A and B are shown apart, each in its own frame.
Chain A
């Protein structure tokens, strides 16, 4: 029982991180109907920028303070993500308005190749560390309930806390600020939003900025867990079943989908994987999402798809 709960909690933590990446997808899809395959590349780029800046700043400016270095690196990487958002909106999306979904998908794939190459030629392609001072040692909880207690990874707990607070901030931003309302209006109906004077181009820029910040936070957490390396881009592929499970247009869907997939992956790997040779967590999430899609084509929380001729 203790082992089961341990796996469950491990799954929830992993799921929280998936939903962080998934959030980036959902934000952009909601606002501009672009399925942003470059999200993984953006996560890698942001993480690389953060890792290298936190290494370079103390050398350039001659100080020795880990917190300050991380803070400055975070801000600098954030500024880079804003610049990238502006360039993508300006150079790519503006020219591709009203194209088919497949064309836009391919365009974001092109962007992801570009960003991958750019990030690695500026920041190098080795494995880098991000050290934001997260504790690595495990703690044990509920020792009086189960024998040996439940092993928890403090690092995961911190990561989950950061992810949760980011989600709360985003929810407040969407619901309480004028810009957030404008974003939701654009997401609901482009034409209606434009007709009441909301500038579409600016909204798209803001959405890509927000997605960039989400990518930065995701990259920071994943990077400090796994090290910053090229394989971070595959995190985006792991997050895809999350968004179709939760629904492409739903922010809560991304969160709950992430948790479901995280738990499902871990439980299936531990309790089912040994029968079929292991390594099933990669496709299990997709098959899980597929089964849900068969019953709810719009995902668990997506808007109902209504067809009219």
Chain B
């Protein structure tokens, strides 16, 4: 009854081209954004910001980037962790090497570094595809893990090999409380999510999807595979790089290459697959799921253990977390291989026809 596009006529091109075509969608999304900016800081305590919300926002941003490459352009990448690392170290170098560099240009410069690296490591995608490409992108992962550990130039020759940034400032506004960090990350996520949403429904987004569905057929109808694939790599790694810079600067503060290891790449790919390939909204669902699940398990397992009268050791909890996480992933892939975004659209369809079944 409430969610229906009946009677909403589009009488000019401007209406026709809106990102959110239906009034209810528009109202819902804007309400959500306003709630996230204003309502959440009033309701939530500091621990939740630090442990869940900030990691969620940053990884959701990264997942949007990975989804552009994997979900929209169909190029499976296991190098996303490396692109995050390049973003973080790139932003760090720009911030430290140029006197008086403002924060936001530095973060974006980190994204640009990741873009260049992403395009270079995307070149194999012109020759190989599918799982061969997935393994080929691992080359990026291992190469940059090594480079940031061994090549002193990237870390400004800090003796410990780990780097740290402090005193984040935007126009004199110092960002140090969790709420301010949350606002910064939320701002980035909102802007990039809308940009990405807009991009994937434009000509270039349609090119990517054509390449994903069948690249030979796309080439036959006049889409340039080189251009489409490399642009997907560029856009994706830019977003992932900015997310990496945020992860280092805002979430961690100080970091070493292990923060962006291969586990991070797997985690991002999990988010995309569980959230739903080819859906911006899905990336956020996936990120929420993957960020919250281990914390939930960590909190819930000792409680469940005490109900049945078993004290689980710390190692036991770590191992059972692994097992439950793995089993849930597999179970989820079996029951809903198209991800949480699919459930979302089924829900919307149900709402649309409610109260009738068809």
Contact = CB atoms under 8 A, between A and B. Distances in A.
B323 A113 contact: yes
A95 B328 CA distance: 15
Nearest to A33: B131
Contacts of B329: 106-107, 109-110, 113
Contacts of A100: 337
B329 to A, nearest CB: 3
Contact of A117 (B139, B266, B277, B323): B323
A309 B131 contact: no
Nearest to B221: A309
Contacts of A308: 216
Interface residues of B, number: 50
Interface SS majority for chain A? helix
Q: Which of A35, A91, A117 has the most CB of B within 10 A?
A: A117
A102 interface: yes
B156 interface: no
B220 interface: yes
A118 B316 CA distance: 10
B132 A248 contact: yes
Contact of A106 (B124, B139, B270, B315): B270
A105 interface: yes
**Interface range, A side:** 35 or more
A116 B330 CA distance: 14
A110 B132 contact: no
Interface SS majority for chain B? helix
A290 B131 contact: no
A92 B216 contact: no
Interface in B258-284: 262, 266, 269-270, 273-274, 277
Contact of B269 (A91, A106, A283): A106
B320 A117 contact: yes
Given A114-B327, A121-B320, A103 B131 contact: no
Given A102-B76, A283-B139, A113 B326 contact: yes
A13 B70 CA distance: 37
A110 B146 contact: no
B315 A125 contact: yes
B143 A101 contact: no
16 contacts: A95-B334, A96-B334, A102-B277, A106-B329, A109-B270, A112-B326, A113-B325, A113-B326, A116-B319, A117-B320, A117-B321, A237-B262, A244-B136, A277-B150, A286-B135, A289-B136
Given A286-B142, A299-B132, 4 more contacts: A92-B334, A106-B329, A114-B323, A277-B150
